[in-house]
Chains A and B, each alone.
Chain A
Amino acid sequence: MQNNHHSGHPNSTAMNMREKEKYIENFNFPFCEEASKYQKVAKIGQGTFGEVFKARDINNPKKYVAMKKVLMDNEKEGFPITALREIRILQLLKHDNVVNLIEICRTKASAANRYRSTFYLVFDFCEHDLAGLLSNVNVKFSLGEIKKVLQQLLNGLFYIHYNKILHRDMKAANVLITKLGVLKLADFGLARAFSTNKNGMPNRFTNRVVTLWYRPPELLLGERNYGPPVDLWGAGCIMAEMWTRSPIMQGNSEQQQLTLISQLCGSINPQSWPGVEHLELYKKMELPQEQKRKVKERLKPYMKDPYAIDLLDKLLVLDPSKRADADTALNHDFFWTDPMPCELGKMLANHSQSMFEFLAPARRATQINRHHAIPRPTTSAVQDSGYQDRVF
């Protein structure tokens, strides 16, 4: 009976290791194409969980993609949960201002890789990132172009928040811009779904997210029940950076970051921010008092437009509950007064070379900040696997 050997003697039915390896090597997974359909051109960055390459579609040589390698070497628990999260979120998000995941590719399993394929997330290629563009003095944005950048950024944020996703790693380097001037939010490696606490139970998210310079005060004070305002703080930082051309608050520790924030946005206390005293680290961090809010004053020299200053003032608000949300920001007069937002394509057409922060660190350090030649921090949660304490 054919069944006999299926149930009685498991070992005779299951493939042995070699047979299995052979099987995996030869199985043509119908839904997961081979990475060899793309030809690597250059390394363009280091994502939160692996390297990023620019590559060319072999069957369509005019088509370029970005391939993000899923780093699995140090994973004790198989395919990284962060990568699974990013994939799931990217599959959900389909919007002009969110980077488009085309597919996931694999290398063929073979003896050479111990029958363990490597996976790549394949994205539409974007020529520039905002940090790269801002670090190049030859790239000049007009006010209308700045408005277009910020409008697209907020559009993207509005869309992801509407879909109950937090980005959690807003920074200029994660804002991509195509050569036609279309902005795409990228790197959802730290993103996660959120829910507005439905049953009175506060969320317990990790607060070890967001690159330090763009990290909002509530995260620095240990808040775990946070939401979309964390991304709008980042949007505010990026907004100012459109004029200052370098990150406005470059702390080198969480304490120093809080000090910088207090010096710019005013003292953090229950008067400026009711309820802040209940945050876990409120008593543990040193919070300079008697600081006046100087957002407008300090940025006026860069941002001449009064509407711009006013919008920034509504984004860089200490109390997250009073911070403007994406919708409010998009309705701000800044976007609806002359000069109106205008296409970036023409300006970008003058720059044929890709500008990525990854490719331009040296240029950036020398050119803008003589005294800020420290390397940009990357997201803390990635380097020290901050998610792990939450996950396993």
Chain B
Amino acid sequence: MPGWYFDKQELKHTPSGAAGLDYKTEMRYRKEGARFIIDTGMKMDLGYNTTATGVVYYHRFYMFHSFQQFPRFVTACCCLFLAGKVEETPKKCKDIIKIAKALLADNKFATFGSDPKEEVMTLERVLLQTIKFDLQVEHPYLYLLRYAKCLKGDKAKLQKMVQMAWTFVNDSLCTTLSLQWQPEIIAVALMYLAGKLSKFEVVDWVGRNPAHLRWWDMFVEDVTMDLLEDICHQVLDLYSQPEVKSSSESPPPGASRPAAASPSNQSTSRQSNGATTSTTASSASTASSTSEKTQISPETVPPPVNTRIPPPSDVPYPYQTFTHAPPPISYGTPVSFAPPVNTPPPLLGPSPIPSLLSAPPPNAFPPFVNQPPPFTPVVPPPNASFFGNGLPQGHTRHRPPFFPP
């Protein structure tokens, strides 16, 4: 007590919901606040750890208070302020506010009232009590790097996979995953996703033993494919959500989604996807939504989150090169839209966009790119089993309680 993990039902019954905020808007507020923390953190040269800690505080805070009561950007600033102190990278409150003012539209910054610093300071006490002074938070990054060190295979491909997974972890902060699953599991899931998309097949790993069906069996127990896919989808959903350009502008509610964008019933079915039990049904439904999703033309797809917090510079090879830009990886001709299901995220859009697979100029990662990579949903490629002889396609496993009480 208290657990900081919630099931999907609990996530739908938050104080904001009780006060009349619809679920989608709440998720958008969470995403906007998280991204704002990430952006502010980046502008202030705060490390990925501090930023991620701030975001976790933010998500926890709104499990006990509503967005109606506490405007999200004030809370976001407060979370980052506290995280800075906790992670030994303190920033002055007034400096955080200065950045906030620069990043936010005037009407948003107005929520800070007439004395913004006072506003944030007062909130800090509320925040500390709300999060039970549970200051120490772990993030998937650590596990991502730890696990990657155990994987054998082509170094360049591994590196690319880790970079991609790292980006997914960054983006996962904009979801409520940190309220649902331990960082170990999120790391495994997003490495699984990145492995799939970058076609990095893990066939061997350090410490392998016959009881291990998959590499992650070494690190986490009873993680089912359904669970992994559910986690991956929560991240992938970020890229398919109608996104208002950057965090500076919220759409009026009910503002028209891009006309051709995924029909809302589709994303609804995705939301309930976690409940799917039959793998056959699940892959069938994902497969069908795949084809729909890959039809989406780039103009109609909203910008993705794609926030980047670079991996730490002090991580030894092969990760040290990740600090700013992954090395160029040639994938032949850029793939156009509607790629085959098993294509890794290709470059999209009219201009050369820094994305995972291209080498952007050093230091030139824009916080947001304009176009999303058309991430393919997580389904085994039609004619290749990702895990070789590992998992049969129809493998069904019920989802046991992950952590026994």
Contact = CB atoms under 8 A, between A and B. Distances in A.
A binds B: yes
Interface of A: 1-4, 6-11, 13-15, 17, 20, 23-24, 27, 29-32, 77-79, 81, 84, 87-88, 91-92, 104, 106, 109, 115-117, 119, 198-199, 201, 391-392
Contacts of A106: 125, 129
Interface string B8-41: 0000000000001110010000000000000000
A117 B125 contact: yes
B71 A13 contact: yes
B124 interface: yes
14 contacts: A3-B253, A6-B68, A6-B253, A7-B250, A10-B71, A10-B108, A14-B71, A29-B130, A87-B133, A104-B133, A109-B125, A116-B125, A117-B125, A201-B314
Interface in B45-88: 64-65, 67-71, 74, 81-82, 85-86
Contact of B69 (A1, A15, A79, A91): A15
Nearest to A87: B133
Interface string B85-128: 11000101100000000000001101101000000111011101
A10 B111 contact: yes
Nearest to A115: B122
B135 interface: yes
Interface in B133-150: 133-136
B361 interface: no
B110 A79 contact: no
Given A31-B2, A77-B93, A17 B113 contact: yes
Given A3-B253, A10-B111, A81 B90 contact: yes
B362 interface: no
B71 A88 contact: no
A116 B254 CA distance: 39
A84 B71 contact: no
B83 to A, nearest CB: 10
B251 interface: yes
A117 B113 CA distance: 21
B252 interface: yes
B68 A198 contact: no
Contacts of A24: 122, 126
Question: Which are the 7 A-B pairs with shortest beta-carbon distances?
Answer: A3-B253, A31-B132, A32-B129, A29-B129, A10-B111, A7-B250, A14-B71
A13 B86 CA distance: 30
Contacts of B108: 10
B70 to A, nearest CB: 8
B244 to A, nearest CB: 10
A149 B125 CA distance: 39
A78 B20 contact: no
B90 to A, nearest CB: 5
A32 B21 contact: no
A238 B107 CA distance: 60
Nearest to B64: A30
A78 B93 contact: yes
A187 to B, nearest CB: 18
B133 A6 contact: no
Contact of A78 (B25, B111, B124): B124
B130 A1 contact: no
Contacts of A79: 82, 85, 124-125, 128
A3 B22 contact: yes
Contacts of B2: 30-31
B314 A81 contact: no
B314 A198 contact: yes
Nearest to B128: A79
Interface string B295-338: 00000000000000000001000000000000000000000000
Most buried by A among B108, B120, B133: B133
B110 A11 contact: yes
A211 to B, nearest CB: 23
A6 B70 CA distance: 11
A7 B252 contact: yes
A6 B86 CA distance: 31
B99 to A, nearest CB: 16
A119 B128 CA distance: 10
A392 B92 contact: yes
Contacts of A17: 113
Given A8-B252, A109-B125, A77 B85 contact: yes
Nearest to B68: A13
B64 to A, nearest CB: 7
Nearest to B29: A6
Contact of B107 (A4, A10, A27, A119): A10
Contacts of A7: 250-253
B111 to A, nearest CB: 4
Given A14-B111, A78-B82, A106-B129, 11 more contacts: A2-B22, A2-B253, A6-B21, A7-B250, A13-B71, A14-B74, A77-B85, A77-B90, A79-B85, A87-B133, A91-B134
A13 B74 CA distance: 13
Contacts of B113: 14, 17
B128 to A, nearest CB: 6
Contact of B133 (A3, A8, A32): A32
Contacts of B251: 7
A197 to B, nearest CB: 10
B253 A199 contact: no
Nearest to A80: B85
A7 B130 CA distance: 25
A27 B251 CA distance: 31
Contacts of B128: 32, 79, 119
A271 B252 CA distance: 75
B253 A1 contact: yes
Nearest to A114: B122
B21 A2 contact: yes
A379 to B, nearest CB: 19
Nearest to A5: B68
B123 to A, nearest CB: 9
Contact of B136 (A2, A4, A91, A198): A91
Contact of B20 (A2, A20, A392): A2
Nearest to A10: B111
Given A30-B2, A79-B85, A84-B135, A3 B254 contact: yes
Interface string B200-219: 00000000000000000000
Contacts of A88: 86, 135-136
Contact of A31 (B68, B81, B129, B253): B129
B256 to A, nearest CB: 14
A77 B129 contact: no
Contacts of A109: 125
A81 B89 CA distance: 10
Interface string B214-239: 00000000000000000000000000
A5 to B, nearest CB: 9
Nearest to B71: A14
A244 B277 CA distance: 73
A105 B132 CA distance: 10
Contacts of B20: 2
A1 B254 CA distance: 9
Contacts of B254: 1, 3
A77 B74 CA distance: 16
A14 to B, nearest CB: 4
